[in-house]
């Protein structure tokens, strides 16, 4: 497999790859990174927000769905708004699905 820039989440949203294939592609890129490569976020087409969600434990399928249909914008703990672009949140499973919560709830 040759390393080329791609949009991993976009491929997932469009059904070009399965969640399992997305994981395998990610693993291959991570296992074969060199110091000459651009950041993996560039190679796989992740925004900083998407990469942060993945680093916090969100599955690629969850992030792809958020990209396609909108990000959660309320904290599941306090119910207050979350501005995803300003960070201050992390992902956690709640009521059987991945959601966002404030790092420190304002209430």
pLDDT in tens, 4-55: 788 999 999 999 999 999 999 999 999 998 888 888 899 999 999 999 999 9
Answering whether pTM is above 0.85, one says yes
- Interior angle at CA 65, CA 61 and CA 71, nearest 5: 125
Segment 59-85 mean pLDDT: 95
Quick one: pLDDT band at residue 102, thresholds 50, 70, 90? very high
């Amino acid at each position: 497999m040759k390393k080329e820039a791609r949009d991993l989440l976009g491929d997932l949203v469009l059904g070009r790859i399965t969640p399992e294939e997305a994981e395998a592609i990610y693993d291959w890129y991570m296992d074969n990174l060199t110091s000459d490569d651009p950041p993996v976020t560039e190679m796989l087409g992740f925004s900083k927000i998407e990469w942060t969600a993945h680093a916090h434990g969100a599955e690629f399928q969850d992030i792809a769905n958020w990209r396609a249909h909108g990000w959660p914008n309320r904290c599941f703990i306090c119910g207050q708004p979350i501005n995803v672009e300003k960070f201050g949140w992390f992902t956690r499973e709640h009521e059987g699905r991945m959601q966002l919560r404030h790092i420190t709830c304002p209430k």
